[in-house]
């Protein structure tokens, strides 16, 4: 990856999956076996192999990363009357799952140097109703977990890691997603590895793992009778999806190396560009570089959207950061301390093509188009 030529006329997507013959072969074997629903050997193997890679005792495959996050909150007994702290800079699902269980999301600002949850906000936002925090490893860069975990221990609060964008990322040499009580991953079509749509909740606590697994399968008890011990959910991953995930897992190191190489190539090309901040990489972090973003620091309002339009004219996909949670119409009033950093980042942010199968020529083309577009804008 990263060394082939590129047709300058082709469209360059933001982030598409890398799927080859190995994936097709394993999925075909699944279809031929007729085990295509949520029961089948590939589901169990996918769970156990990913858990082993992460160094935890249990993985529970789910229909989405959102489902994994929902199960995590529900299984820990978080519900009405409780508050859960979430960062402003994240995909909306992080806040939505708090509402799913009837709890109240409290939105915290992020830091300029990591784009992730600011640990200093936690004591300012916590109340007697605070039961949990959901740090998000945004775009594959780890949140600063040590102070978050220390605060949670002092408060006796749960830590649910939203690692849906960060499979393969490390915090102080440890895999993210295993540092809190429950970690959640996503295998959506554009994630580092994909099952089409899917996710997984992981934990080192076997009892929690059993409860997560039960809840994901309608809380059906073992045995021939359809006996359900509590109200559960239909959040199971299918055997076909798990087959795709297993094939992708076989190639995860290859994909990670490609993402790292792309980040270096982009950084080399853009490091000297005036007025641009390139994606963070804290000294204690090893990002997975799921999506590569820049901040147009010294450009006037509206530059970001004009640049996105200019890139689109050259058939290059890009997009802003996620609209911060506190600016979403459904979440007005959820950020009592305001979130100026998250707002500032969003107003100036731009995500660049980040597919694992990008070529060096693709990246050169993106950077040249980006710099041309910025050259037409006046800096502040």
Active-site positions? 191
Token digits of residue 72: 């995590």
CA gap 117, 189 in Å, rounded: 25
Q: Which of 207, 219, 161, 209 is nearest to 51 (CA)?
A: 209
Q: Give the DSSP H/E element, type plus range, for residue 335.
A: none
Cβ(324)–Cβ(89) under 8 Å? yes
Q: How is residue 324 annotated by DSSP?
A: P
CA 237 centroid distance within chain: 18
Cβ–Cβ contacts within 10 Å for residue 77, how many? 10
Cβ–Cβ contacts within 10 Å for residue 361, how many? 15
Instruction: Give the strand pairing for 349-352 and 292-296.
Output: antiparallel
R_g over Cα of the chain: 21
Cα torsion 143, 356, 318, 67 to 10°: value is -50
Region of 236 on the Ramachandran plot (φ > 0 left; ψ -120 to 50 alpha; else beta) = beta
Exposed, middle or buried: residue 144 (CB in 10 Å: 0-12, 13-18, 19+)?
A: buried
Backbone angles phi, psi at 26, to 5 degrees: -70, -40
Cβ–Cβ contacts within 10 Å for residue 338, how many? 12
Token digits of residue 343: 């707002």
Inter-CA distances, 106 with 84, 130, 222, Å:
6, 9, 38
């Amino acid at each position: 990856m990263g060394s082939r030529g590129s047709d300058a006329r082709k469209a360059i997507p933001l982030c598409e999956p890398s799927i080859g013959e190995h994936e097709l072969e394993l999925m075909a074997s699944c279809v031929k076996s007729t085990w295509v629903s949520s029961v089948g050997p590939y589901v169990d193997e996918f769970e156990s192999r990913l858990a082993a890679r992460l160094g935890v005792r249990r993985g529970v495959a789910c229909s989405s990363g959102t489902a994994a996050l929902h199960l995590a909150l529900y299984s820990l007994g978080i519900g009405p009357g409780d508050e859960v702290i979430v960062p402003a800079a994240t995909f909306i699902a992080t806040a939505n799952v708090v509402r799913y269980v009837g709890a109240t999301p409290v939105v915290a600002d992020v830091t300029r140097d990591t784009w992730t949850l600011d640990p200093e906000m936690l004591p300012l936002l916590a109340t007697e109703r605070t039961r949990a925090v959901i740090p998000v490893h945004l775009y594959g860069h780890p949140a600063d977990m040590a102070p978050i975990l220390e605060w949670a221990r002092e408060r006796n609060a749960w830590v649910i890691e939203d690692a849906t964008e960060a499979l393969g990322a490390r915090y102080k040499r440890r895999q993210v997603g295993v540092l809190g009580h429950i970690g959640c991953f996503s295998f959506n079509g554009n994630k580092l590895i994909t099952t089409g749509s899917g996710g997984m909740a992981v934990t080192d606590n076997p009892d929690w793992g059993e409860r997560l697994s039960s809840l994901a399968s309608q809380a059906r008890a073992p045995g021939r009778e359809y006996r359900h011990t509590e109200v559960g959910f239909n959040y199971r991953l299918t055997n076909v999806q798990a087959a795709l995930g297993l094939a992708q897992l076989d190639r995860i190191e290859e994909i990670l190396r490609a993402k790292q190489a792309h980040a270096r190539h982009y950084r080399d090309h853009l490091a000297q560009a005036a007025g641009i901040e390139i994606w963070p990489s804290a000294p204690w972090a090893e990002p997975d570089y799921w999506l590569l973003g820049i901040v147009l620091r010294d450009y006037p309002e509206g530059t970001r959207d004009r640049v996105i339009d200019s890139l689109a004219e050259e058939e290059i996909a890009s997009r802003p950061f996620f609209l911060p949670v506190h600016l979403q119409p459904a979440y007005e009033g959820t950020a009592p301390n305001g979130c100026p950093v998250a707002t500032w980042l969003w107003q100036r942010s731009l995500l660049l093509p980040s597919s694992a199968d990008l070529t060096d020529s693709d990246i050169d083309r993106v950077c040249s188009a980006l710099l041309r577009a910025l050259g037409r804008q006046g800096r502040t």
